[in-house]
Amino acid sequence: MKKFGLLVAGGIAALILLSTIGPMVGLAVSVVLLYFIIKQFLKTESTGAKIGLGFIGFIVLMASIHNAPAIIGVAAAYVLYLVYKKWNENKHTKIKEDSDPFANFEKQWNEIKNY
């Protein structure tokens, strides 16, 4: 039943991630553009260039705000990562427990002592 819950949560997170890929790409591009505009704005000495870069930066900032639903996509990617990690956690702990001869010996020794 636990695997079914992980499967459902992973499926929902994957669907949300796929539906927000467009805004995520748009947000990434606009943030990179905004970074370079701010960097160039701080370098320039001319007042006209500062006004122009400020105007372009404002437009790109509005584009970044428009792609704010991409944050939901990032959260869905994180949930998908957690589901993947939890899904594989069960396999690794089971393998470790079965392959360790001392853990198996201790378990059998405790069973013998209880009789």
**What is the DSSP-derived secondary structure letter of residue 69?**
T
The reported pLDDT for the residue numbered 98 is: 60
∠ at Cα 33 (28, 37), nearest 5°? 150
Owner of token pair 């990179």: 32
| Residue spans of beta strands (DSSP E) within 1-115 | none
| pLDDT less than 70: residues of the chain | 1, 90-102
Residue 91 CA neighbour count, 13 Å, CB half = 6
The reported pLDDT for the residue numbered 99 is: 65
The reported pLDDT for the residue numbered 76 is: 92
The reported pLDDT for the residue numbered 114 is: 80
Q: Chain centroid to CA 57: how far?
A: 27
pTM of the model: 0.64
